[in-house]
Chain A
């Protein structure tokens, strides 16, 4: 690109609700980052497309978005310079977060309703992406209680529920520790399901309760990657087959590791359930 073209492009400004001129390129970079963060924190492709389109329309920007499994491509065509640009942003390494997902969607509506200026939007965006995670001890206790409830739903007795609570508590804490230490997801899933299955087999080993098989079965349910499976289906229905397949394979791989850990635990404890 020639220098004068760049200068001409750079000089292009747009005006938002508070009449502050903003460089168009900043807005496109913001959109690319916004889309990448939505992808990173577990939003479906249809949500990403809708939110980005909503913001782009509010700011009178013409853009096309392509969502890949690990990155977002934002194509921009400038009528004045007859140049096209592609802003490529890799998916950030962040866990699935409903909080960030919801807040980012709210931000798109706030921009669409012209409630926030570009600078305010960027400030809010930075605040959302740097928001701290939910307290890990609270998550640990709630996950254990939720898995215990699963045991009850499947007909487990109080002793089986107690065993599931302990198995989930130990397994999930181990998962948190291993993820903090940077272990591979697949290794984490295998190890955690193994330990949870062994602890869950306490009903068989010590003849506790009347439904020990339910305790073993439900002790690893907290590891099932439900959100990637649901997102995969949603993306498939929307026609984003590449992302859908990628998400499905990622989730299937984790489920496979989970199953291997469960099978290893059951083999070690010599359980003859089936």
Chain B
């Protein structure tokens, strides 16, 4: 495998990783947002922490 193929693969892999992180981040945010609505105003600030714990 020559250098060109390796570099091309690395760049494409980085791009795909960026897309994946974006999707995961969006999914994670949507879950947190859902919890905030369910928990209510008084505890909304702890919504994301509860999710992680």
Interface residues of A (CB under 8 A from B): 170, 173-174, 177, 195, 198-199, 201-202, 204-206, 268-270
A to B contact number (C-beta, < 8 Å): 33
Consensus secondary structure, chain A interface: helix
Known pairs A170-B15, A177-B22. 13 more at Cβ < 8 A? A174-B18, A195-B11, A198-B11, A198-B12, A201-B8, A204-B4, A205-B4, A205-B5, A205-B8, A268-B7, A268-B11, A269-B4, A270-B7
Interface size on B, residues (CB 8 A): 11
Smallest CB–CB gap between B41 and chain A, Å? Answer: 28
Smallest CB–CB gap between A175 and chain B, Å? Answer: 12
Are A174 and B11 neighbours in the complex by a CB distance under 8 Å?
Answer: no
Residues of chain A lying within 8 A (CB to CB) of residue B22: 177
Interface residues of B (CB under 8 A from A): 3-5, 7-8, 11-12, 15, 18-19, 22
Smallest CB–CB gap between A112 and chain B, Å? Answer: 46
Residues of chain B lying within 8 A (CB to CB) of residue A177: 18-19, 22
Residues of chain B lying within 8 A (CB to CB) of residue A174: 15, 18-19
Give A164 to B7 CA distance when docked, in angstroms: 19
